[in-house]
Amino acid sequence: MEQRLQAAIRNIPDFPKPGIQFKDITPIFLDPELFRDLVKRFAQEYKKYSPDAIVGIESRGYLAGPAIALELGIPFVLIRKKGKLPAKTISHTYSLEYGTDVVEVHEDAIAPGSKVIVHDDLLATGGTAEAAGHLVEKCGSTPVLFSFIVELNFLNGKERLEKVAPCHSIITY
Ligand SMILES: O=P(O)(O)OC[C@H]1O[C@H](OP(=O)(O)OP(=O)(O)O)[C@H](O)[C@@H]1O
Ligand SMILES: Nc1ncnc2[nH]cnc12
């Protein structure tokens, strides 16, 4: 599984800015067998946490997240950037290198007291996933796992997230 994922993930140098090595995960979803095996692998891992819901982070957390939720028979909840969700929301503002950003969730999307898995495609600095975790807490629920396909180890996002909940990723660079 790891080898097939490594082979599918492309490195795009200098995207979206000079010096960034962008990990393009989109080829995984061109290969239905690999996609199916990835979903089953995540579902197996997630079962240990008896989750009540999976939250996915816009936008690439929406690729595998809903398929894993379907496999486990639990809700998939969208976390979006500010101003995109139509009904009443709960928001969380977090710091970026320069300035701030805001993530939102529908206020009625997560049943209070839920055990929630936060899923995204890739962990870099951990700022986005940490903010998603805070949002889950603001909804009266508990993040029980942060889960990614890819982790960029040299950015130390894991250290930051592990203060809140364990962190799982399949491929590490
Ligand atoms: O760990 P962090 O430093 O917070 O970075 C990781 C986030 O960055 C990427 O999303 P991006 O901001 O490119 O948005 P997109 O998925 O909508 O393209 C990635 O999909 C994660 O959501
Ligand atoms: N290097 C990277 N590749 C893909 N997505 C990212 N998001 C943040 N850093 C990234």
Q: Which of 131, 134, 151 is nearest to 23 (CA)?
A: 151
| Residue 124: φ, ψ to 5° | -110, -100
Supply the pLDDT for residue 95: 87
How many CA atoms within 13 Å lie on the side-chain side of 71? 19
Look up the CATH number of the domain holding residue 154: 3.40.50.2020
Tens of pLDDT, residue by residue over 67-115, are 999 999 999 999 999 999 999 999 999 988 678 999 999 999 999 999 9
Domain that holds residue 61: 49-172
Asked whether the beta carbons of 44 and 145 are under 8 A apart, the reply is: no
Amino acid letter, residue 169? S
Read off the pLDDT of each residue in 12-38 and give the average, rounded to a whole number.
Answer: 97
In-domain check, residue 39: no
Number of domains making up the chain? 1
In-domain check, residue 18: no
123 CA: nearest ligand 1 atom: 1
Pocket test for ligand 1, best of 60, 97, 121, 155 (most atoms within 8 A of CB): 60
Does position 148 have pLDDT exceeding 90, yes or no?
yes
Rounded distance from Cα 173 to ligand 2 centre (Å): 11
* Ligand 1 neighbour 130 (Cβ under 6 A): no
Burial of 77 (0-12, 13-18, 19+ CB in 10 A): buried
Supply the pLDDT for residue 32: 98
Q: How confident is the model at residue 45 (pLDDT cuts 50, 70, 90)?
A: very high
Pocket test for ligand 1, best of 120, 147, 160, 173 (most atoms within 8 A of CB): 120
pTM assigned to the model: 0.96
What ipTM is given for this predicted complex?
Answer: 0.96
In-domain check, residue 133: yes
117: helix, strand or coil = strand
Read off the pLDDT of each residue in 39-61 and give the average, rounded to a whole number.
Answer: 98
In-domain check, residue 120: yes
In-domain check, residue 89: yes
In-domain check, residue 30: no
In-domain check, residue 90: yes
Distance CA 57, CA 76 (A): 11
Find the distance separating the first CA and the last CA of the chain, reported in whole Å: 16
How many CA atoms within 13 Å lie on the side-chain side of 68? 31
In-domain check, residue 96: yes
Supply the pLDDT for residue 98: 75
Q: How confident is the model at residue 20 (pLDDT cuts 50, 70, 90)?
A: very high
Residue 99 falls in which region: left (phi positive, over 0), alpha (psi -120 to 50) or beta: left
Does position 168 have pLDDT exceeding 90, yes or no?
yes
